[in-house]
Structure 1
Amino acid sequence: MIRSSPSSAMTSMSPSSVYRQVKVKKDYLSYKARGRSRKKMTPRYITIHSTQNWKSGADALRHSKALKNGALGRLSWHYTVDEDLAVQHLPTNERGNHADFDGPGNRYSIGIEMCENPGNSRSRTLERTAKLAAWLCVKYDLPVSRVVPHYKWPRRGKNPPNKNCPHFLLSNGRPGSKWQGFLKAVDVYRRSMLGR
């Protein structure tokens, strides 16, 4: 799953070095963009998604462009991650529209989308996403149990209400061993930043 599974005996890393490894590029939506809620948020969760966009070239920068030009309507999230970088679209203290309409997934969680375009390395994308989620856990003092799949947030009026997302980390549409493996990687990176 993750290219080089992090060892639980990993050496200590500073949060700033992990952030540099993630290679975050800030490319915020304009303040007046349709996808900007302009509503403040104190993050309590980190929600992991998969783009389910298999078009050639649909990498993090292309998703950023689609968000900025309004091609995705009112949808918005905080980061899009591919094998090479993570693009940040919103400040992490502002609500996005990525999980469950006006439910707690949008009101209290940072949304991270993972790219699935052809040629994008899933293992490198997962590794970068695990590091980003761990860095956010440290920044906001969140336990790894607050890193959740989109599946966690039911969507009113949808059938089924819980989305099979991120589909490649779920087992039969639900969190299982693959999801637990991802959380283990997040926890190893988080502990390395905390010196544990």
Structure 2
Amino acid sequence: MRVGLTGGIGSGKSTVAGFLREAGAVVVDTDAISRGLTLAGGAAMPAIAQAFGAAFVSTDGALDRERMRALAFSDASAKRRLESILHPLITTEALAQAEAAAGAPLIVFDVPLLVESGRWRPRVARVLVIDCSTETQFARVLQRPGWTHERIEGALAAQASRQTRRAAADAVLWNDGIALVTLRNQVLMLAARWGCETIAAP
């Protein structure tokens, strides 16, 4: 089975992805693919340099992620231009990784903007949304280096609302005010229901 995993910033999606791997799922991480495409020598860098100029390329030839993030948050057209370069490349690589994992009981596409893109729903049998309150999102993300209230507000504005994500979900895990072991057990149980031969929960 192919599953789409998504959730807002600070929801704990990466933690859940780790538990799914523990359960035996193959996780295709589209954020990791995106980072690879924008490293020095990455497949997206020539098109990004042409579209945005040398100012957005760091001295080592990689994408200047902070400069691009600031531009994308403030300029919707720039964000669309970047997405038009990255998204086809990300999709191609993600599907190739999934094909390479053919035969796995569960293939999970970890896609932060799964609901927003509109392209991933037809490619997966189920959508799993990790959810928490907005207050919890702020509290978690503020602990990350370099993140401010303003930057988090920009990230939230660029993402679908919690209600929109939940409406698109086949399953929702509420990751707010619960112990990590409880979340893990919920993930393992869900993975087992969707075909993974999970390891025994403690």
- TM (norm. structure 1) is 0.29
For the pair shown, the structure with the greater C-alpha radius of gyration is 2
- TM (norm. structure 2) is 0.28
Q: RCO greater where, 1 or 2, for CA within 8 Å and sep 6 or more?
A: 2
